[in-house]
Structure 1
């Protein structure tokens, strides 16, 4: 790679000699990894012209760096970053003597405080990652996605990719969502009722920002989606957790005076329970009577193993009170970060204006690639492949849990991509998760799923979207073995704490 001359700057107000400044800039860039072994430096002529220096000054700086093994000279080819730089000791950063700016006077820190700390980014190095929200990339149709991306880069679609669409969405993608995806959920919608988002998390944030003003009360499921908990911890709204039962969120337990109710009726997060039709009707009647909005997170509706799914709340909505959230993160791949909102035109117009101020619109290339992926049939084929694979993994996981005494009590054929489990013998799931990491096993502790984190210590989520079926048995065996060991240690410590008679 050719390093451009614009990489370097000279401070003519500095008392340091110009050649020394240039030399130190190159050394610092090498140690910080900005200049890497084998990369070609700018020619002395080009760098001198850019910096307004004499060419001899640059040549002398390069010569000193060759003598100290930071650069190598290759005849007429020029100067290159040495492959020995990794052996060199970093030069300490210069002490400017200036006091560090105190950001604590301007930043509250509530966003960082709300951020989850239990999602490892290096999960692929663990042999048994029972981690939700990630996927086995062997299930992704890479060749099909690449073909669609190439199509989207064609001359025909250049305008859709290169223009600033302001707050508009790709009409081809919106049209396919309206005509092919939403009817599968029983939803009929017009283009002015659709807004594309950067995934479900972005959709939830916009909805909260619009609806949850200071003093407003909102209901959430307990336990519920951790990403929503993160958002709500940064808001001034009053959050009212309502415990779910075997059928999901009970409408009769929703208190008076709330403005919004967040729920996941098709696959309750994290328990996978499905809200029956009669309860959905009761929830919608209550919303009409009391005037609150219902936010429906319809994640994972594609991953159902029990035939046709129940209609979405939005499909049953006659008054326009339901805001429906859909996402391609689970059905295509998580890194896509593309989803959509279906809602009343008045709400969509407000959300579109908010999105426009924040990010204009999701990247045009991603939208058009997704439109091709849907219209050419790749989406349906991939979802079918994922559904079949997840059904097999769920069966294997269910049998392994039962065999090792960790039975969840859930029906094995319900759907989704995870199990919600109780820890045996009252173990703290955070302690269990830490003990499993050295065993190469990742699980999700229960605290983040509860408004009051202490309520989740006895639960954990075990997902199978990111682990191959052949590895599930051994992973579950290690969980059971670790649970038994921790339970034995806890029993021994309790005996040791008993007073001597």
Structure 2
């Protein structure tokens, strides 16, 4: 491979070579210890005399940027002299904006592999051992064959037709959603779907109503778009529609499985929400993140299906049903928004990874996804029952599980005052990952508690982990 040096004109050739090599070394494009071409070879590549390159090498040696080892060659120095100070944040014209982003908190972030505890109750993580490796591998090989005939061109921003068709049939069958392939935009997870919707609807100062408590990453994303996010309390039936303020442009809700508390929105409240949205001309974002894993026979029609006016943007993800690392989701856009969302997707990242789209489309059309969901449903159901048994048993003096009908997390309230931060810190010392419910509140939490995810912890590990938690609770009582 030839070294990237560009020669312009015929004057100052040695200085041109010297400056470009110096800048490449200081920028790290030429790494410490990397071997440089012999002066004769580099001179031939550049079409200059060997003396020109030798002069450049000599100046770099004086600057202690390169070293020559007799019989071995010329190398970038292993210890480089201090270069000029990089631009600090205080020197930036946009320092105020950069400082705001630097201060953004990242709640619910999953721990890196080397920081994971033996017993992890983090929400949103799925079971690694349940991932269908062999079926996915076969579908990936099929995707490789399909993409081999299509390379060289970008794909459509809205996503592959084959995947959009598979998703439309899947959500129609498993969730009762009314849509066609043309209504869908494939995104990099539900988070990007929400980001695109916000991009085409939100201006600085726009009022957005959001459930309180609610999904903190959705709230922070909307605030990053400079929306005025108004927390609207929830009760046993869902978001308090009567408290949604006038002038609201967008309403974010999780009606099938309220995050984080777990209850579904009642049918009366669903109709009231749609009526209020119609009155305001507001778009309702229905985030249906994990309703495949439902543990009761009761099921309500999605807002998207009940919608008669084209007000609901329905978003979903495959991060919960398959793996958080599979960054594929979708938005089912109302007619008034679809063209805008496609354009926003195009400008954002052109399209989601084609290879993954082909793989997932094949995985779904072969029936593997429904089979995988049925298998996971049984496993998660067993873990859920184990957790509920302990919470209604020996842990009941301290903890109360809130009713939940779907998903793989539980919200737990404290029955008595418990120092949440201290509890979580003590649990980490005994290899148990506990996470406070407080992070899901925009306002001070009136009822502290925990968010217990049971996707990543095996059933046989739940009781040993909760034994350790009980010991800590007893110590805090002493």
On the 8 A contact 1:260/1:294 being kept in 2, the answer is yes
2:431 pairs with 1:440: yes
Measure how far apart 1:104 and its partner are.
Answer: 5.7
> How does the TM-score come out when normalised to structure 2?
0.83
Matches of 2:109 and 2:414 in 1, distance apart? Answer: 20
- Specify the SS of the correspondent of 1:304: coil
Matches of 1:389 and 1:46 in 2, distance apart? Answer: 64
> Closer, same or farther in 2 for the Cα pair 1:28/1:157, shift >3 Å?
closer
Matches of 1:8 and 1:397 in 2, distance apart? Answer: 64
Q: What per-residue deviation string (whole Å, max 9, x for no partner) do you get for residues 1-51 of structure 1?
A: xxx5548999x9899998999799889979x9x679xx9987887667557
Write out aligned runs for 1:280-295 (5 A).
280-295=270-285
Q: Which residue pairs with 1:309 in the alignment?
A: 299
Q: Which residue pairs with 2:401 in the alignment?
A: 409
2:434 pairs with 1:483: no
Measure how far apart 1:97 and its partner are.
Answer: 9.2
Measure how far apart 1:133 and its partner are.
Answer: 1.9
Measure how far apart 1:366 and its partner are.
Answer: 1.4
> Closer, same or farther in 2 for the Cα pair 1:388/1:118, shift >3 Å?
closer
Q: Which residue pairs with 1:102 in the alignment?
A: 91
Q: Which residue pairs with 2:64 in the alignment?
A: none
- Specify the SS of the correspondent of 2:157: coil
1:138 to 129, 139, 151: 129
Measure how far apart 1:313 and its partner are.
Answer: 1.1
On the 8 A contact 1:314/1:322 being kept in 2, the answer is yes
Q: What per-residue deviation string (whole Å, max 9, x for no partner) do you get for residues 398-440 of structure 1?
A: 22333233443334x7221111112453234333323322221
2:294 pairs with 1:319: no
Q: Which residue pairs with 2:196 in the alignment?
A: 206
1:340 to 316, 330, 343: 330
Matches of 1:47 and 1:136 in 2, distance apart? Answer: 54
Measure how far apart 1:230 and its partner are.
Answer: 1.1
On the 8 A contact 1:192/1:345 being kept in 2, the answer is no
- Specify the SS of the correspondent of 1:280: helix
Matches of 2:310 and 2:257 in 1, distance apart? Answer: 22
Q: What per-residue deviation string (whole Å, max 9, x for no partner) do you get for residues 427-467 of structure 1?
A: 34333323322221212222321112x32782221101111
Write out aligned runs for 1:320-469 (5 A).
320-401=310-391, 402-405=393-396, 406-411=398-403, 414-423=405-414, 425-452=416-443, 454-455=444-445, 458-469=448-459
Across the aligned residues of Structure 1 and Structure 2, the Cα RMSD in angstroms comes to 4.0
- Specify the SS of the correspondent of 1:462: strand
- Specify the SS of the correspondent of 2:316: strand
Q: Which residue pairs with 2:162 in the alignment?
A: 172
User: For this pair of structures, how many residues does the alignment match?
Assistant: 465
Of 441-450 and 16-25, more deviation after overlay is shown by: 16-25
> How does the TM-score come out when normalised to structure 1?
0.79
Measure how far apart 1:186 and its partner are.
Answer: 2.0
Of 42-51 and 113-122, more deviation after overlay is shown by: 42-51
- Specify the SS of the correspondent of 2:103: helix
> Closer, same or farther in 2 for the Cα pair 1:15/1:45, shift >3 Å?
closer
> Closer, same or farther in 2 for the Cα pair 1:213/1:400, shift >3 Å?
same
Q: Which residue pairs with 1:496 in the alignment?
A: none
> Closer, same or farther in 2 for the Cα pair 1:160/1:443, shift >3 Å?
farther
Q: Which residue pairs with 2:139 in the alignment?
A: 148
2:239 pairs with 1:249: yes
> Closer, same or farther in 2 for the Cα pair 1:24/1:262, shift >3 Å?
closer
Matches of 2:364 and 2:68 in 1, distance apart? Answer: 51
On the 8 A contact 1:446/1:456 being kept in 2, the answer is no
Q: What per-residue deviation string (whole Å, max 9, x for no partner) do you get for residues 324-369 of structure 1?
A: 1111110111111111111222201111111111111111111111
2:470 pairs with 1:470: no
Matches of 1:20 and 1:105 in 2, distance apart? Answer: 30
Q: Which residue pairs with 2:259 in the alignment?
A: 269
Matches of 1:100 and 1:313 in 2, distance apart? Answer: 45
Measure how far apart 1:269 and its partner are.
Answer: 0.2
On the 8 A contact 1:422/1:460 being kept in 2, the answer is yes
Q: What per-residue deviation string (whole Å, max 9, x for no partner) do you get for residues 117-163 of structure 1?
A: 56253256310111112222111111211211111111x44355542
